[in-house]
Amino acid sequence: MRQQSREYIIILFITGALALNYPVLGLFDRSAALFGIPLLYLYLYLMWFVLIILLIAVVQHSEVREPEPSKARTALSESTERHRTGDADPGETR
């Protein structure tokens, strides 16, 4: 995982901790309801959902990509062919 991705995850954690604590939750603790759902519950579930989606995006973006199999296979077959034909470097071992 790259260092920048770790920083993004830490930022997401701090943002989530702040968004799901008292001062901010107090803003949504009203008797109002949106679509029949109390405002506080709607806020909690939406924040939870948004944090999970952002975390998934950061983790998928930070994954180390493996080389394509066709390129790896080509390099392996060239190396094998050099060993068979005797064109290998003297420093290479079988």
**Mean pLDDT of all residues belonging to the chain:** 83
Token output for 11: 């930022």
Do 5 and 59 form a contact (C-beta atoms < 8 A)? yes
Closest CA to 5 of 65, 66, 60, 67: 60
Do 16 and 51 form a contact (C-beta atoms < 8 A)? yes
| In the chain, domain spans | 3-85
Q: Which residues contact 1 (CB under 8 A, 6 or more apart)?
A: 62
pTM above 0.85, yes or no: no
pLDDT of residue 40: 95
The ranges of the chain with pLDDT < 70 are 65-94
Token output for 26: 């107090």
